Amino acid sequence: MKPIYEPRGKAKEYGDYAINIYTGCPHRCYYCFAPGVLHRQKEEFHLAVYPRNDIVAETRRQLEREPITGKLIHLCFTCDPYPTGYDSTPTREIIQLLKDYGNHVQILTKGDGSRDFDLLDENDWYGITITGRANDVETEPGAIPPHKRLAILCNAKMRGLNTWVSLEPVIDADAVLRFIGMHYPIIDKVKIGKLNYHQSEINWREFGLAAEAMCEAYRLDYYIKDSLRAEMDR
């Protein structure tokens, strides 16, 4: 097993390298793509949340064998590096290993990663997902609430870390625009993507153009995901 891998397809838009630490995720996001990608039943995926077999040892072996250094490595795609209600010690050990070998991490979570801020520096990125919902008890019932994620992100910014927000999938377009306008001072980068594989009444072209204009007005570093960009270019 080689835990560190190069993403393909849409995942490539997030980084050159990635690692998935856990077998599942308890956050139960209704839009989650991971069970389908992994060919698993949703209920099993949300309940069977364990560190992947020998994940820390296998990561160490791979780093010892391969010249992976100076890379930005994304945590994670098919799980959350900080699954709410579970011990995230494996994540801490993975981060420490990656840093020991001269790499940097790009964290994306709906949990609480603040316990590991002491391992991060000015070359690492701490990010959260925001869909626009103020209270996602229906769409993300197992995750910590968005306002708590934002407070943790603010803490990361105050500690001098790079901060980013994945505004994907956008569920409430107006709320996402308000979010950008209110919180851009504590955000270094945003990645914006549409809701895929589910019905939506959002005018994606209108939303995408408005979001892009707002990011440019606030001089906020941004990236429009390919599926949203395609709607904007119609």
85-115 pLDDT per residue, tens:
999 999 999 999 999 999 999 999 999 999 9
List the domains of the chain with CATH numbers.
9-232 (3.20.20.70)
**Which residue(s) pair with 106 in the sheet?**
74, 125
Which residues have C-beta within 8 Å of that of residue 159, sequence separation ≥ 6? Answer: 117, 120
Provide, rounded to the nearest whole percent, the portion of the chain with pLDDT above 70: 97
pLDDT of residue 27 exceeding 60: yes
pLDDT at 76: 96
Cβ(27)–Cβ(80) under 8 Å? yes
- Surface-to-core class of residue 186, CB atoms within 10 Å of its CB (0-12 exposed, 13-18 middle, 19+ buried): middle
pTM of the model: 0.94
Question: DSSP letter string over 141-182?
Answer: TTSPPHHHHHHHHHHHHHTT-EEEEEE-S-S-HHHHHHHHHH
Tell me the C-alpha distance between 60 and 55, whole Å. Answer: 9
**Average model confidence (pLDDT) across the chain:** 94
104 neighbors 124 (Cβ within 8 angstroms) = yes
Supply φ then ψ for residue 127, to 5 degrees: -135, 160
Burial of 43 (0-12, 13-18, 19+ CB in 10 A): exposed
